[in-house]
């Protein structure tokens, strides 16, 4: 798992998600101080935003294969 001091933007999706899950588990225990909980929450929000951005970027790269009426293959963005 990445350290809390790691810059969120440099984390892979998997590392950010793993750290976010650890933060959630830790917050659910209720065994952290208020200050630690606030810091963890803020870090969690940054990690969540980073993961959403990574997913959005990946989604934009996904294309679907389209077969034209004459049998030719091409690609289009997934949303079309």
> Mind listing the pLDDT tens digit for each residue in 23-63?
999 999 999 999 999 999 999 999 999 999 999 888 777 77
Query: 3 lies in a domain?
Result: no
How far is the C-alpha of 63 from the C-alpha of 19, rounded, in Å? 30
How far is the C-alpha of 49 from the C-alpha of 8, rounded, in Å? 9
Query: 1 lies in a domain?
Result: no
Enter the pTM of the model.
0.71
CA within 13 Å, CB half, 13: 8
- Using alpha carbons, select from 13, 21, 78, 73 the residue that is nearest to residue 44: 21
Query: 2 lies in a domain?
Result: no
Residue span of the structural domain in which 24 resides = 8-77
Which DSSP category does 74 fall into?
E
Domains held by the chain: number = 1
């Amino acid at each position: 798992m990445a350290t809390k001091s790691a810059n969120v933007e440099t984390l892979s999706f998997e590392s950010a998600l793993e750290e976010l899950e650890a933060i959630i588990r830790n917050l659910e225990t209720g065994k952290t101080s208020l200050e630690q909980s606030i810091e963890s929450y803020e870090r969690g929000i940054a990690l969540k935003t980073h993961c959403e951005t990574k997913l959005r970027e990946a989604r934009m790269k996904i294309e679907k294969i389209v077969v034209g009426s004459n049998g030719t293959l091409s690609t289009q963005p997934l949303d079309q």
